[in-house]
Structure formats: structure tokens, C-alpha cells
């Protein structure tokens, strides 16, 4: 993931929307039943950020389930590179609607080709045990951390503490919160914003060196454990676990300011030797 400056086309004028980029990014156009299209387009050709297409696909799936059912997990695959200057169409398949669970599959398409697939499960809230084994390690509060810019993300404020390793574009641990007004619009939107954020920091940066680098994401999964407000601070921590066979794998945890584990995620990405030009 690189720090790149870019411009994007103004979002369409929408009733009741102030034109916030993240809000417009998640506000999909309903083309027909179970078929949605992205509205926000970049002005120039730019690689489509994986967290964007994942958040939009989850949003499309969530628009087809009863309002009392919220996502508890998603599993996705990145099939082809996307172009952020072109619209993405999301086809939703209603696999099942049970008494308390709904299952949806989404295929994201550009130029007639599938670029991304997502399977998501939605659950009506119910009472049950609430236990947490994983705890956040001690880390300075947001007020004690220095601000930094998360590359490629709209409407996100971020802070971290301590020196980064040479290859860490995004810190392995950081606070973030949304500044978008859309973050106040219910738990589905909060889950979409969390998904949008979850792909930005690769835990594989910690094991990169001059000879091996992480690149394109292969798959991504998120589990939503507890309700979360993404317009409040959340602490993201990523941990690398393995690199072999040209692939690397890492996991991540998201905590709120009270230390509750609100979500977990995992990703596999390409992890290969750096190609070097042979000298003549």
C-alpha cells in the first residue's frame, strides 16, 4: 500500500447528503432489485482500494436483509484489480433467510468481469454470554498520540505512537475514527466503515526487508463481535504470522476505548522476493 495523492470527481448531488466522500462512497445506487452501483468515482485512473470495494459490497448485502439483522462475519476474495475511476456494480444473491440468520453473496463487477466476491452472514441480536479472552496490550491514549495520515482513506482521523519500522507505511498499532456524518447512521454503516478501515494496514510490513515485500491482497475476512461506533476512537492492532510459498498471512484486532474487542480480521496477501534489474 503506497502513499499516493489523488483527486476524485465530485460526488453526485444527493438529497440530504452534504457531499462527504465516505458517505457518498457508501451510498449506492439501486439499479434494480439486488443490483447496486457505486456513485463516487475518482477523476483519474487509480487502483481500487480493497477496503472500499469490501465496504461497498457489505453495504449492498446489508440493504437486502431485514433491518434488525446486522453483519457478524464476512469472507471475501480479490479476483482482479479494480479501477476507482469507473463504477462498480454489485450483484447480491440471497442465499438464505432463516429465523434469525441471513446469508448473502455479492459479486462486484467492472467492465463485465468479476473483480471481487464477498459472502456475509447477518444475525438478529440476541442475549448470550459475553466473555473476552483477547485483551489490548498497553498503548497510549488517542490524546497522547501524534496524528498521521492514513493513505487512500476518506474522512478518517488517525493517531499513533512510537517509531515505525522502515517498511511500515501504516503503523502496526494505531487509533482511528471516522469524521463522516454517515458514521451516525446505524450499526450497518458502522460495520461498513470498520470494513473500509480494516484493509489499510498490512501486518506483513513488519517482516518485509530489502529482498521480500507484500503486495496485492488475496482474501480478507472480518468478524464483528460487538456493536461499535466508528465515529469514536478504535485501536487497530495487526500481527504477522506466516510467509511461505509467495503468500503472507496476518491477523488484526479492533478495540474500542474501553478495551472491548469489537472486531477481528485476517488477510492473506502476495509476499514475494523483490525483482531486481540485472546489471549489464
Residues 6+ apart with CB under 8 A from 25: 38, 39, 40, 52, 55, 56, 154, 196
Known catalytic residue at 198: no
**Cβ contact 157:147 at 8 Å:** yes
Residues across the chain: 280
Known catalytic residue at 199: yes
**Cβ contact 86:110 at 8 Å:** yes
Residue bearing cell 472480518: 222
Q: What angle do CA 170, 239, 81 make, to 5 degrees?
A: 60
How buried is residue 148: exposed, middle or buried, by Cβ count under 10 Å (0-12/13-18/19+)? middle
Known catalytic residue at 267: yes
Please state, as a whole number, how many other Cβ atoms lie within 10 Å of the Cβ of residue 239: 13
d(CA 114, CA 118): 11
- Which listed residue (199, 202, 253, 256) is catalytic? 199
- Which listed residue (52, 217, 231, 253) is catalytic? 217
- Catalytic residue numbers read 199, 217, 267
Amino acid at each position: 500500500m503506497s502513499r499516493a495523492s489523488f483527486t476524485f470527481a465530485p460526488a453526485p448531488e444527493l438529497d440530504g447528503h452534504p457531499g462527504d466522500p465516505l458517505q457518498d462512497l457508501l451510498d449506492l445506487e439501486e439499479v434494480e432489485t439486488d443490483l447496486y452501483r457505486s456513485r463516487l468515482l475518482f477523476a483519474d485512473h487509480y487502483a481500487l482500494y480493497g477496503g472500499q470495494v469490501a465496504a461497498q459490497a457489505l453495504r449492498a448485502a446489508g440493504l437486502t436483509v431485514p433491518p434488525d439483522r446486522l453483519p457478524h462475519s464476512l469472507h471475501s476474495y480479490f479476483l482482479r484489480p479494480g479501477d476507482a475511476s469507473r463504477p462498480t456494480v454489485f450483484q447480491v444473491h440471497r442465499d438464505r433467510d432463516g429465523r434469525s440468520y441471513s446469508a448473502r453473496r455479492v459479486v462486484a463487477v467492472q467492465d463485465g468481469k468479476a473483480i471481487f466476491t464477498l459472502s456475509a452472514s447477518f444475525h438478529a441480536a440476541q442475549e448470550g454470554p459475553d466473555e473476552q479472552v483477547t485483551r489490548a496490550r498497553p498503548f497510549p491514549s488517542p490524546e497522547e498520540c501524534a496524528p498521521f495520515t492514513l493513505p487512500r482513506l476518506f474522512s478518517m482521523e488517525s493517531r499513533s505512537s512510537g517509531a515505525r519500522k522502515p517498511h511500515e507505511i501504516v503503523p502496526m498499532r494505531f487509533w482511528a475514527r471516522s469524521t463522516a456524518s454517515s458514521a451516525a447512521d446505524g450499526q450497518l454503516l458502522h460495520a461498513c466503515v470498520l470494513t473500509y478501515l480494516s484493509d489499510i494496514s498490512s501486518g506483513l510490513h513488519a517482516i518485509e526487508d530489502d529482498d521480500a515485500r507484500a503486495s496485492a491482497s488475496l482474501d480478507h475476512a472480518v468478524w464483528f463481535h460487538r456493536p461499535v461506533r466508528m465515529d469514536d476512537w478504535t485501536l487497530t492492532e495487526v500481527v504477522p504470522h506466516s510467509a511461505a510459498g509467495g503468500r503472507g498471512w496476518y491477523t488484526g484486532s479492533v478495540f474500542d476505548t474501553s478495551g472491548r474487542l469489537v472486531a477481528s480480521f485476517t488477510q492473506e496477501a502476495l509476499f514475494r522476493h523483490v525483482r531486481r534489474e540485472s546489471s549489464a
